[in-house]
Structure 1
Amino acid sequence: MEKRTLYYWACIFSDQMQKGMAYAELAQTITINILNFRYVKSSNQYHSTFHIYEDTERFPLTDALEIHFMEIPKLLVSWRNHTANPHEDRLVRWLLLLEAADNEEIRNELEEIAMKDPVMKEAFEKWEDISRDPHALAEYHSRRMAILDEAAAIRKLSYVNKEHVKKEND
């Protein structure tokens, strides 16, 4: 995952370069990974941000690289434990919106917030419009199935790898 992320970051960063352009003109490139699985094992935080720092004194080399991992399973735990509050944190609100279709409790809380937040209200209205469009709904379900299939394949691969390592160690 980290190499994939760096690869995508590098592609976006390098695609900015045009003939005759100075390196100083390259803009900061931010990669945002919204994950439906736990990835950053050394942290229970749902949002981790990475930069390039000097090892000893921790000063940044550059601000050109910034990588975010937002892990939905960790967010849901934080939300259930009331340590992530969508009423106070816009990022929590928008990330929870990704789960609202499948979780009535989240949907109800976000609908309450939408009464006070015009942008969230507009998102809910667009979502409802899409939900009424059979073609858009079919595309949504198709994409959702692909995501679920990919998650199942990752879990299976992880299980197979663990079993393989276990057999080698026995």
Structure 2
Amino acid sequence: MNDNEYLLPLTNDFVFKKLFTSNTLFLLDFLNSFFETVDFPLLKSIEILNPEILPDSKEYKTGVLDLNAEDEKGNLLFVEVQNYYDPHFGNRILYYSAGLLRKSLIKGEDYSRMRKVISLSILDFQLFSHEDFISHYKILNKKQPNFPLTDRLEIFILELKKWKDSEILPLHFKNWLQLFFIRSKTDMATKFIPKDHPALTMALEELEKISGNREYQNIYEMRMKAEMDHASRLI
């Protein structure tokens, strides 16, 4: 971790949250690049609801460092990155999403005021055996999919291991995807990062700063050890 050439991986949840809470523009630009790809309504603005990172807490060492945000329509967004396989992953995502749905209503409030929850999980492992690297889930009628039970919950899962650089994607999203695979300044020089993408250019600069910070390097290593210990208990 002493090599100035090395960049901390964005697939680590601490690095992910540190980068995307450093500037709201980064998260807004990344999410809109993804939503454009999956033909989902774009966001005009976003507010991060849990920007704090508490590296000294016991919960930090073992908990989920997720991002909770709210868009201009009041929709709630749950964004996370995970780099180890969890056989109960689907149940966990449903649990977190249901928690946000529950919190979106004040006790006694009418159910019509329930806000929509949009969940995005970025995985650095293969979860499903099918080839699609983006999965989209809604609560639908199996025989009549045009008649959903509710539109208050949508879950997206992005499996990085399945992405191929040759895949046809909007350039905006493809550029952001490349950031998850950059591990060094040499990678930065060889990956196609256009100069006319200011949010991504600033994000790269911020990732360099995070990677060069000794305290953050130590937190990253502590977090990785905790994740590996947790993953080994799941085997």
> Per the shorter chain, which TM-score range?
0.7 to 0.9
Deviations 1:37-79 (A, max 9, x none): 11122x211111111111112112221110111111112xx12
Q: Does 1:6 align with 2:87?
A: no
Q: Name the CA shift for 1:144/1:89 in 2 (closer, same or farther; >3 Å).
A: farther
1:48 alignment partner, one of 135, 139, 148: 135
Spell out the pairing of 1:41-80 with structure 2 (5 A cutoff): 41=129, 43-59=130-146, 60-75=148-163, 78-79=164-165
1:108 match:
189
Highest Rg: 1 or 2? Answer: 1
Q: For 1:100 and 1:39, locate their aligned partners in 2 and report how far apart those are by CA, in whole Å.
A: 22
For 1:114 and 1:148, locate their aligned partners in 2 and report how far apart those are by CA, in whole Å.
Answer: 35
Q: Tell me the SS of whatever aligns to 1:125.
A: helix
Paired residue type of 2:145 = R
- Of the three residues 169, 175, 187, the one matched with 1:93 is 175
Report the CA distance between 1:103 and its aligned residue: 9.3
Distance 1:55 1:121 in 2: 44
Residue 111 (structure 2) aligned to one of 23, 30, 36:
23
Deviation at 1:143, TM superposition (A): 2.5
SS at match of 2:152: strand
Match of 2:149, SS?
Answer: strand
**Structure 1 SS opposite 2:115:** coil
Q: Which residue of 1 aligns with 2:167?
A: 83
Structure-1 separation of matches of 2:141 and 2:178: 35
Name which of 120, 125, 132 aligns with 1:32: 120
One-letter identity of the residue aligned with 1:29: V
**Residue identity opposite 1:83 in structure 2:** E
Identity percentage over the alignment?
A: 26
> Which residue of 1 is the match for residue 210 of structure 2?
130
Question: Using a 3 Å threshold, how does the CA distance of structure 1 residues 149 and 61 change in structure 2: closer, same or farther?
Answer: same
Structure 2 segments unaligned to the other structure (5+ residues): 1-88
C-alpha distance after superposition, 1:64-104 (max 9, x if no partner): 110111111112xx12xx1155x7141x3333322212695
Give the 3 Å change call, closer, same or farther, for CA 45–153 of structure 1 in structure 2. farther
Number of aligned residue pairs: give it. 146
Cα root mean square deviation, aligned? 2.4
Q: Secondary structure at the match of 1:66?
A: strand
- Residue in structure 1 matched with residue 224 of structure 2 by the alignment: 144
Query: Counterparts of 1:109 and 1:45 in 2: how far apart (Å)?
Result: 26
Distance 2:213 2:194 in 1: 22
Q: Which runs of 5+ in 1 are unaligned?
A: 158-170
Compute the displacement of 1:108 (Å): 3.5
Give the helix-richer structure, 1 or 2: 1
Higher RCO, 1 vs 2 (CA within 8 Å, ≥6 residues apart): 2
Quote the Cα distance in structure 1 between the aligned partners of 2:226 and 2:184. 16
CA distance in 2, matches of 1:72, 1:31: 16
